[in-house]
Structure 1
């Protein structure tokens, strides 16, 4: 005799719903199974977690777990690289919905053969992403049938930003938000970055008034930081041990005004291309660091 399935199938749930209506039971008495969601894009994966939904599969899962501000359910499937996910693994995960973004548009013809694709362009050069993330939160909640959850999550996020802003003193130094690439190069986050949006919510000023450069390399020479003598350096990346040693021995780094004045804050690794949970995590950690400075 074959074993009974441990979870009801969609067909079984539909049959139960039909029987319940026929028997005169309320339709709400039989809950539909949750949608199976797979995420290629990390910002959309965070958005799903913020809605209280657990993706069944996420691309680059190990790295995502390391940087994600919200816990990922045990048993989540790793889809491989975001830019080249395993389509076979994705199909075996049997998703109802695949979360993507414009970065992976070249995959969309293949993805749509597996399931419906939900894609939103969040990180666009020259455009602030935070409003787009709030909109994506509402849109995704509508897609999966939980709009009220999005309303509550958005209200909590805005309230937390406001509460954190009240903890900060007026007149704080402007911030340069950066990732360390190597001992001579950094990535700076401008007005079209997630971190800029969080700074604005906190009432802080971003000293870097240029756009971010959305590239894999850190494109800004270290000496550029000397052009902002009053700024606080806020580092949002992990620094490999060898690079940390190189920086410690760097005369250029030691000569930077912010370094000489002790205005350097290391926040640890925070995903600058994440969702609202990453923006909130950045705001929390930065607020605590500035209070302790």
Structure 2
């Protein structure tokens, strides 16, 4: 979950505001990305950014597309290294609505291009499509953007058609914060939206805010006893150790009947590349349950 800037971030923004403005540029050749969804979209369009934020974590959590080692790491998304960004001297900085609070500072370094993909209560897939097209148009890759949209839609459609009939049961998609609580991904998450596009029912029907419900107790998973459970990695180390002996967890019908799978890590706030990664990992896991 992405939160408003804290005191440390505000101080960093204040300090960065002292940087002198940069003269306008007329060409767009080097791009910097603060938002991971925009970063993965750049890479999907064949654009190698000059710089991006939190690359070590991106490689661990978002995983794909792969990021070349030549991309400069700007540090935290919430408080990127503005001085380093200025040295990189990008022609354009791409962000999402989550980072609009940084716009006044970023615009002193380079023009800013922002796209909104996640809004509370709004399924994000179509917004991710629009963001991909907009980014492709902005960077002179409209054909590549349209092709990636079509390839992604076709990929999801093929996986939907290949799903075994026996796997058509409701699905919880969750992440675990500790051994007694989880976060449920609802209809305004990319995971929930892709579930629907795969022809599956999201077992979590309650409202969520910006992708996932606030942490709730494991007992809530018993509300839909026939559901399968997909856990999105990473799992906290203590959860991995304690969950197998957790009596409440082991009492859940899905656990007793072997309808639980742990997926590899996926960007929770990703765009179309994350949608494709989730569709691939989820359908493979659910097919295993049905076999």
Shorter-chain TM range is 0.7 to 0.9
Q: Answer yes or no: is the 8 Å Cα contact 1:178–1:234 preserved in 2.
A: yes
Find the counterpart in structure 1 of residue 279 from structure 2.
283
Structure 2 regions of 5+ residues with no counterpart? Answer: 1-26
1:48 pairs, out of 24, 34, 42, with 42
- The answer as to 2:205 corresponding to 1:205 is no
Q: Please report how far the alpha carbon of residue 114 of structure 1 lies from its aligned counterpart in structure 2 after TM superposition.
A: 0.8
Q: Please report how far the alpha carbon of residue 68 of structure 1 lies from its aligned counterpart in structure 2 after TM superposition.
A: 2.7
- The answer as to 2:166 corresponding to 1:167 is no
3-state SS of 1:71 partner:
coil
- The answer as to 2:51 corresponding to 1:57 is yes
1:80 pairs, out of 75, 80, 89, with 75
- The answer as to 2:64 corresponding to 1:69 is yes
Q: Answer yes or no: is the 8 Å Cα contact 2:176–2:236 preserved in 1.
A: no
Structure 1 regions of 5+ residues with no counterpart? Answer: 1-32
Find the counterpart in structure 1 of residue 139 from structure 2.
144
Q: Please report how far the alpha carbon of residue 248 of structure 1 lies from its aligned counterpart in structure 2 after TM superposition.
A: 1.3
- The answer as to 2:240 corresponding to 1:233 is no
Separation in 2, partners of 1:284, 1:234: 13
Find the counterpart in structure 2 of residue 38 from structure 1.
32
4+ aligned runs moved over 3 Å, structure 1: 213-218
Q: Answer yes or no: is the 8 Å Cα contact 2:52–2:71 preserved in 1.
A: yes
Q: How much is the aligned-residue C-alpha RMSD, in angstroms?
A: 1.8
Separation in 2, partners of 1:213, 1:222: 19
TM-score normalized with structure 2 length: 0.86
Q: Please report how far the alpha carbon of residue 241 of structure 1 lies from its aligned counterpart in structure 2 after TM superposition.
A: 3.0
3-state SS of 2:204 partner:
coil
Separation in 2, partners of 1:213, 1:253: 25
Separation in 2, partners of 1:224, 1:231: 12
3-state SS of 1:176 partner:
strand
Q: Please report how far the alpha carbon of residue 191 of structure 1 lies from its aligned counterpart in structure 2 after TM superposition.
A: 0.5
The 5 A counterparts of 1:189-204 are 189-204=185-200
Which structure is larger by alpha-carbon Rg, 1 or 2? 1
Post-superposition CA distance 1:86-116 (Å, at most 9, x none): 1001111111111111111111000011111
Find the counterpart in structure 2 of residue 89 from structure 1.
84
Post-superposition CA distance 1:247-281 (Å, at most 9, x none): 11211101111111111011121111111111101
Q: Please report how far the alpha carbon of residue 217 of structure 1 lies from its aligned counterpart in structure 2 after TM superposition.
A: 9.6
Separation in 1, partners of 2:41, 2:251: 41
Separation in 1, partners of 2:216, 2:280: 27
Separation in 1, partners of 2:213, 2:86: 32
Q: Answer yes or no: is the 8 Å Cα contact 2:187–2:211 preserved in 1.
A: no
Q: Answer yes or no: is the 8 Å Cα contact 1:134–1:276 preserved in 2.
A: yes
Change in 2 beyond 3 A, CA 1:193/1:245: same
Q: Please report how far the alpha carbon of residue 216 of structure 1 lies from its aligned counterpart in structure 2 after TM superposition.
A: 9.8
Q: Please report how far the alpha carbon of residue 246 of structure 1 lies from its aligned counterpart in structure 2 after TM superposition.
A: 1.5
Find the counterpart in structure 1 of residue 18 from structure 2.
none
TM-score normalized with structure 1 length: 0.85
1:132 pairs, out of 112, 127, 131, with 127
Higher relative contact order (CA 8 A, sep 6+): 2
Deviates more, 1:52-61 or 1:162-171: 162-171
Q: Please report how far the alpha carbon of residue 34 of structure 1 lies from its aligned counterpart in structure 2 after TM superposition.
A: 6.6
Separation in 2, partners of 1:213, 1:126: 7
